[in-house]
Amino acid sequence: MPSPVIKTLSQAVVTRGSEPLLTWYDPLTSARTELSVRTFANWVDKTANLLRELDAADSVVAGAVNVSHPGHWMSLIWPLAAWQAGCRYTTMPSGAAEVMVTGPTRPQPFPVLTTIACSLHPLGLGLTDLPEGVMDFTSEALAQPDQHLANRVDPDAIAWVDAEREVRHRELLADPIGERILVVAGKPWQTLRQAVLRPLAGGGSAVIVDGPADRQLLDRIAANEHATMA
């Protein structure tokens, strides 16, 4: 069967597809991007289909972008897309990885790996003038079909790896939350868990603040978004 988190996302598309799942804020630029459940799932579908096109399904995906930019909505899409394609997702250098996902700052191709650079643009615009051997995530993903295909995974298989933990597929939906919460981006796993996995599991949503913000600004965002601090 698909990863439990992918099954839950698919069900949420049916039951609350138009509701917000993730609202992203950049306090430095005041940019705001809101992704409904359906829009988030569509990005996951397209990204998973890109991995299949690259013959990278059931492989290991290395997410450098989750280390450098853990709170951006593009970064938060990638782990779920990897799980939908049957992949393991790691934030650590891995000799087993076939794909490396990076941010937009001076991206360079990684030897032996398919290298994909994310623009991290608020609206998902693509990158241009990339060096040879580096693919633009936006243009490649948007060229993929909207078809939802989910690879089978073992619930006991490792889904996420970082320097501090290994998380199995059956553990991804622990501690669900059903309200709208405000999350400040931090370490990659904690950010993904708070901003996506817990709200997805419990029928809630999250507002992710991706950058430095004082308490006054956080309180103002929370009030405007009708969210409570996680």
Tokens of 207: 């507002």
Per-residue pLDDT at 105 exceeds 90:
yes
Per-residue pLDDT at 217 exceeds 90:
yes
Q: Three-class SS of residue 215?
A: helix
List the beta bridge partners of residue 135. 116
Instruction: Identify the CATH homologous superfamily for domain 4-229.
Output: ANL, N-terminal domain (3.40.50.12780)
pLDDT tens sequence across 58-74 = 999 999 999 999 999 99
Confidence at residue 82, expressed as pLDDT on a 0 to 100 scale? 98
Calculate mean pLDDT across residues 157-183: 98
Calculate mean pLDDT across residues 118-127: 97
Q: Taking the domains of the chain in order of start, what are their residue ranges? A: 4-229
Per-residue pLDDT at 94 exceeds 80:
no
Calculate mean pLDDT across residues 147-153: 97
**CA nearest to 207, candidates 174, 185, 178:** 185
Confidence at residue 111, expressed as pLDDT on a 0 to 100 scale? 87
Share of the chain above pLDDT 70, in %: 100
**What is the pTM (predicted TM-score) of this model?**
0.97
Calculate mean pLDDT across residues 138-149: 97
CB atoms within 10 A of CB 161: 18
CB atoms within 10 A of CB 13: 21
